[in-house]
Amino acid sequence: MAADSALCPEVASDRSAVRRAVSRAINDSLLRNSSFLMLNSVLVSALGFVFWTLAARYFPASSVGTTTTVISAVTYAGMMGTLGLPNTVIRFLAQDPDRVMVLMTTGAVATGAGVVVGLVWCAIPGHLGIPLSSVGSGWLTVPLVTVVVALGSLGAIAQSAIIALRKSKWVVVENGFASIVKLLALPLAVGFASAGLFALFLVSLAVSTVASLVIIVRVVGEPRERWLRRVELGSIAHMRSFAAGNHVAALASLLPGTALQIIVLDQLGAQYAAYLAMPLMIVALLKIIPSAAAQSLFAEAAADEESLGRQARRTMRTIYAVLIPAIVVLMVFARPLLSVFGADYADAGTRCLQLLALSGLFAGFNYVADTILNAQRRVRAYVVVNVVGSIFGIGFPVALLGFGLTGVGFGWLLGQLGYAVVAVVALVWRRSPQPSSAPVTNDDTWSRAGSDA
């Protein structure tokens, strides 16, 4: 009994330390929001994996390849319609005194721009090589594509607003619900080929976007009449330079994956587009880690700029502690994972998936480097890194396309390495320091290169 009593203070001390650690984790907004964003991506990816596994079993590979390519292109078009506003909302919303006006204006601008992008795309002969007629033939093509692009633009703004408000748990709710709806509705699409699969994508996007808007209104908590005010472009005029740079950089960063699927569809055929789409979907699991952590880092830096260096170092440690074991597991189990979709998917895509997974070693760093440049408002550097990195990301895979999907995977690995090299150069680059009295603008922030990294 005496021995047990002697141990009690130590046991109590250990329990108290555990409680303090748990409390710190719960109250640490960077860790909390990163965790919710990772959970969201894991949930969506897991449900997406189940969805496309079933789709691969009940739809021909040609339909899967065509639909995934069209979805990728439509998603890119939706990002074009955002005009760089998602990151801009994350960067500025927390410090703006009139959040309702900012949200209303950015949402309206993005939706309108999405409509314009959709209409212009449909008006271009051949639709830039994207088989839009496969998902909506005849008169239905134009309204269908336009609605999807506009919803994508608005949804991106809405989700960024939730992250900016540091309520990332609701991102899990709305995306998880939308993914479950799409999965449960899958049997209704069987027999409708690409059009059926694309209709499910549209339903999921609509559910997610509407849910995001409802969540934002409830989280902000302003009276309903304030949300009905007219849009004022002047309320976001000070964001134009930042948004423009982010727009170019975002489009450049997303271009390699989208262009690659289109090129494979055109050069190797719809079946190989499907065989590439599944490795890309699986390896997206690896992006969950750096993407979620970087988004949360950006939101934290927007609220507390002085903490960027410390938070960036923490973010890097967190990313690689999880990323390295995940890469090893994915490389080892690449074939069994692809075999779930069918033997043909495994035979054609195993080596490609392994190379895509290995590229995650560089991609993890690239996400954080982009976030540091963006948080420092070094817009020019951010744009240059993304544009040059995207040239590598497209150029290497295309140059090695003759070696099939294995060449595509190796080219992607080289592209990520090239991106990382450019990012390192940008982070350590120095310009002559500005006088202390000079205001810091987006271009002046070159002088702060790496100062907080």
For residue range 194-227, list pLDDT tens digits in order.
889 999 999 999 999 999 898 888 888 777 777 7
In a domain, 35, yes or no: yes
Task: Grade residue 140 by pLDDT with cuts at 50, 70 and 90.
Answer: confident
Q: Which residue has the higher pLDDT, 60 or 375?
A: 60
Using CA of residue 388, residue 389, residue 395, residue 400, what is the dihedral sign? positive
Q: Is the pLDDT of residue 386 over 60?
A: yes
Among 230-239, 320-329, 410-419, where is mean pLDDT lowest? Answer: 230-239
Overall domain count for the chain: 1
The mean per-residue pLDDT over the stretch 418-440 comes to 66
The mean per-residue pLDDT over the stretch 313-339 comes to 90
CA gap 269, 262 in Å, rounded: 10
* pTM metric for this prediction: 0.75
In a domain, 180, yes or no: yes
Mean of the per-residue pLDDT values of the chain:
82
Task: Grade residue 448 by pLDDT with cuts at 50, 70 and 90.
Answer: very low
> pLDDT above 90 covers what percent of the chain?
36
- Looking at residue 9, its pLDDT comes to 54
In a domain, 17, yes or no: no
- Looking at residue 115, its pLDDT comes to 96
In a domain, 431, yes or no: yes
Domain of 133 in residue numbering reads as 28-448
Asked if 378 and 445 count as a contact pair (C-beta separation under 8 A), the reply is yes
Angstrom distances, CA of residue 243 to CA of 86, 150, 155, 166, 232? 8, 18, 17, 20, 17
Residue 424 φ then ψ, to 5°: -60, -45
In a domain, 20, yes or no: no
Q: Which residue has the higher pLDDT, 449 or 282?
A: 282
Asked if 312 and 453 count as a contact pair (C-beta separation under 8 A), the reply is yes
In a domain, 9, yes or no: no
In a domain, 407, yes or no: yes
- Looking at residue 31, its pLDDT comes to 66
In a domain, 13, yes or no: no
222: which 2 tokens?
């302003």
Among 250-259, 263-272, 384-393, where is mean pLDDT lowest? Answer: 250-259
Q: Which residue has the higher pLDDT, 50 or 32?
A: 50
The mean per-residue pLDDT over the stretch 134-155 comes to 88
Any idea what the Cα angle at residue 411 is, between residues 367 and 274, rounded to 5°? 90
